[in-house]
Homo-oligomer: A and B are copies of this chain.
Amino acid sequence: MAEQPDGWESRGKQPTLFRRFNFERYGQTRDFVDALSALTEAQGVHPQNINFGSTYVNVTLDPNAAGLADADLAVRINALYHPAGV
């Protein structure tokens, strides 16, 4: 909320970021979840929600401290995604 005027606070819904990552096998899904966990732990943050099954991971990111969706984190998570990789 650092960017709000003095004495004011943000109310109402703030934007989140959502992406679905698809995989061919559970092993790939598992590797992605593990990498995502390591990344967010290293950054001291965590997604608002992670929802995964055999071949998909849905990730929802909170708004950041400025009330904006955390695009930087989203880009870093994208970099972990290698669906066609070994």
Contacts and interface: CB of A to CB of B under 8 A. Distances in A.
**Listed residue (A41, A53, A54) with the most chain B CB atoms within 10 angstroms of its CB:** A53
A48 interface: yes
A6 B13 CA distance: 56
Contact of A30 (B34, B37, B51): B37
A41 B34 CA distance: 13
Interface of A: 26, 30, 33-34, 37, 41, 46-54
A45 to B, nearest CB: 10
Contact of A49 (B30, B34, B41, B53): B53
Contact of A54 (B37, B46, B52, B53): B46
Nearest to A51: B51
A77 to B, nearest CB: 16
